Amino acid sequence: MDGNHDAACAPQTISVSRSAWRWWKNLAARDGRVAATRQLLSALFEFVRDSTPERRRQRYGDAEYDWDYRVNTTSAAVGWRDRLLGVFHSPYQPTEAALFHEMIAALSAKARFDFPDFIFIDLGSGKGRTLLMASDYPFRHIVGVELLPALNYAAQENLSKYHSESQKCFAIESICADATEFAFPVEPIVLFLFNPFPEFGLRRVIANLEQSLQEHPRRAYVFYHNPLLEHVVAESVAMKKIFGTHQYAVYASD
């Protein structure tokens, strides 16, 4: 894959007003205009609350990971514009290292799983922490797809700085693109989703995945972390839930 996709994701192409309008229009189609407007006002109020100094300190989250590996993956340094865009796409939050490795270990224990056969894909990969953690396993390739240029730039910086004695995969890239339009590779895949889309976006991704699996039958696993919209994945005719907890759900292709 070609990792030089920054030109396709210039900052001016991602409009806050256009993102807000698309978000509101999809909610209005489902819940009505009044309900959609209420949700918009509620989301904007929460954004203002989240901009206070106290909330910003809380966004440093798991800073220990960054300290250990000299990278920048916390959400505290994300600018206000990208945080506002996150209201209408998905707020950036890094995955906790312990939980990520728990998910991978659970999959390895419950499924016949040979890492070198699979490409690991993180849609909505943010600053790339999940890509770094995935490199502890011998995947064939690791790909992150991030919509916001500033976050993708941070991910590329992190990939260039990262060093770990436990790293087993070095074929890693972060692509700046709309993840809902991502063309899945024809190889077996592990797809990681940290609740990265509103419902209409997730439905589009699952539809793309179903079409890809129909055209090129193969093994595919979906990790859905913070599965607030799990009903969308559960409705898929191509995927079946194999295990999960209150923090994540794992699906496999039939």
1-53 pLDDT, tens digit per residue, is 433 344 344 444 677 777 777 767 777 888 788 877 887 777 666 666 665 55
CA–CA distance from 4 to each of 8, 156, 176 (Å)?
9, 11, 8
Report pLDDT for 197.
85
The answer to whether 130 and 122 are in contact (CB under 8 A) is: yes
The answer to whether 153 and 126 are in contact (CB under 8 A) is: no
pTM of the predicted model as reported, rounded to 2 decimal places: 0.77
Report pLDDT for 30.
81
The answer to whether 127 and 94 are in contact (CB under 8 A) is: yes
CB neighbour class for 146 (10 Å; exposed up to 12, middle 13-18, buried from 19): buried
Neighbour-count burial for 238-249, b at 16+ CB within 10 Å, e otherwise? bbebeebeeebb
Distance CA 182, CA 166 (A): 29
Report pLDDT for 128.
95
Cα–Cα nearest to 3, from 99, 111, 97, 143: 143
The answer to whether 208 and 99 are in contact (CB under 8 A) is: no
Maximum alpha-carbon separation in the chain:
54
The answer to whether 242 and 252 are in contact (CB under 8 A) is: yes
Q: Could you give the domains of the chain?
A: 1-254 (3.40.50.150)
Residues of the chain with pLDDT under 50: 1-12, 59
Distance CA 42, CA 47 (A): 9
Report pLDDT for 48.
66
Report pLDDT for 37.
84
